[in-house]
Each structure stands twice: as C-alpha cells, then as structure tokens.
Amino acid sequence: MSDAPAAQAASPAGRPRAGSMRRPLQPLDLPIIKHLNSKRVILASASPRRKQLLQQIGLTNLEITPSTKPEDLDKKTYGPWEYVATTARNKCLEVYSTTLDTHLASIPDPSLVIAADTIIVTRDGRILEKPRSEADHMRMLKHLRDTRMHRVLTSVCVLAPREDARHPGYDIQSHTEETKVYFWEEGNGLPDDVIESYVKTREGVDKAGGYGIQGIGGMLLVEKIEGSVDNVIGLPVKKTLSLAEKVTFQQDRDEYDDGEGSASE
C-alpha cells in the first residue's frame, strides 16, 4: 500500500497539516435543547423538512407521530391567519390526546408536542395548500408567478403537560409567522415551459403552494423573499424554541408577554 496520501496530509515533522483535520460541528449549548434531548418529544408532522430543521439545531430524539385529523376547515369561514393557527392547534391537541389514550406503562408521557401547518396566501386572498393534480400544480404556479408576490404563513403550536393539577392539564402556546415570497416574472426567466419542467420533477407535489424553496423551486422560481426562509420551509425554528422554553420552563406564569400571534391557556 502506498504511503503517498499520508505523506501529503502530514507536515515534515509528522504532524497533520493545519486544516487537514476539521473538528465536527458541535450541538447548540442551549438549556432547552439539552433538557428536551433527555425527554420524550413528539413532532406531530410527517414532514421530513420540519424534522430536519429541528435536528439541525440539535433536537435528535424526535418521535414522529403525524396527526390523522382531517384538514377540512372551511376556507370561506376562516381567514388565513385563523385557518392556519386553528389547523396547527388541532393537530397538536389530537396527537397529544391520542398519545395519552394509547399510554403504555413502560413509556413516559410526552414532555413536549410540536405541531405546525403551512399555507400559501395569494395576493388576491386565496389559500393554497398542496396541489391535487399535475394540472392543478401548473395552474397554481402560474398564478403565483402572474401575481408576483404571495405570503407564506406557518403556524407552530407546542404543548407540554403541567407539573401541577391546574386545568386543562397542559400549557399550550402558538405563533403564526409570515414570509413574503416573490416569483420571477414570465418575461424575466419564468415562462410556462420552465414551470412545466419544474412540475414534472415532482419536487413540489407534497408542499403547500407546489414548490420547495430549499430545492430546485427556490433556485428556479423564486426571485427574493422578505422574512425567514425556515418559515417557508415549514417551521420558524427560533420561535419554536422560544415557545418550547415557555411551556417547559415558565409554567408558573399566568400570562406571557410574547406579543402578537401567541396564545396560552
């Protein structure tokens, strides 16, 4: 076996050259992350993107239990903000309730449940979710292009059981965040054939609005955004951590001064 690679990587004194060995990334040293990594944490979502976002910040012990509650709220009755917030809340409560109903003595109750819902709101006020067919996918993306700007709303809801007997037995907090997304114009790099080509990749079939900003869709369709990209991907991570801290470490506070978009019980 040749020693050439080893010789190239080492200094004349036999020591590795500076920069030849890179230390692995270390997890965030935050109390909430260290606490949750020793607990049972449920992500009430089948989205691999939400799971990946949480894993990137160090939450590595996630238990995936998607909600089975139908997302059938009447869009004509609910405004966009109320619609997405209510859907996320319903998912969170349904998964928590189901988990308690199927409790096993050998498995501890969950310490935290995280749920989220993402919708697209067009400039004319329509709520878009996932495309229903290839033709619907084409119509959806062409409409987003022709109206230039749309809003992505993600509502995240977190729940933790209370340590005392106070009704209803848990603390729940939610927050809805908005990001504005601008598509390229038809005459500036986004003609119909480009949209058709993207639709055929099927990257966006399982995503609200029919595109993935972290993939080909972000490179091909999106000109710019105003707000956080993780919100468009499906989970405003910083806010999720903040809510988790509140329901975990601040249960003795009756009211939270979190500002607009949050609620507690």
Block residue for tokens 């993306």 = 141
Tell me, yes or no, whether 22 lies in a domain: no
117 is catalytic: yes
Residue 179 belongs to what domain range? 28-249
Q: How many domains does the chain have?
A: 1
Nearest to 212 by CA among 202, 223, 227: 202
CB atoms within 10 A of CB 247: 22
Block residue for tokens 């009430």 = 44
Tell me, yes or no, whether 11 lies in a domain: no
Phi, psi (degrees; rounded to nearest 5) at 226: -125, 105
Tell me, yes or no, whether 210 lies in a domain: yes
Give the bridge partners for 170, in sequence order.
161
Of 29, 117, 171, 193, the active-site residue reads 117
Write out the two tokens for 162.
């209370």
Q: Are strands 127-128 and 62-64 parallel, antiparallel or unpaired?
A: unpaired
CA distance 128 to 121: 6
Tell me, yes or no, whether 264 lies in a domain: no
Q: For the chain, list the strands marked E by DSSP.
A: 41-43, 62-64, 112-121, 127-128, 149-161, 170-183, 222-226
Q: Are strands 41-43 and 62-64 parallel, antiparallel or unpaired?
A: parallel
Instruction: Please report, in tens digits, the pLDDT of each residue of the chain (265 residues total).
Output: 445 554 444 545 556 565 557 787 777 889 999 999 999 999 999 999 999 999 999 998 899 999 998 888 988 899 999 999 999 999 999 999 999 887 665 677 899 999 999 999 999 999 998 999 999 999 999 999 999 999 999 999 999 998 776 778 899 999 999 999 999 999 999 999 999 999 999 999 999 999 999 999 999 999 999 999 999 999 999 999 999 999 999 876 654 444 344 444 4
Phi, psi (degrees; rounded to nearest 5) at 130: -80, 145
Tell me, yes or no, whether 213 lies in a domain: yes
Indicate left, alpha or beta for 67 from its phi (over 0: left) and psi (-120 to 50: alpha).
beta
Write out the two tokens for 108.
């501890």
**Residue 85's domain is classified under what CATH number?**
3.90.950.10
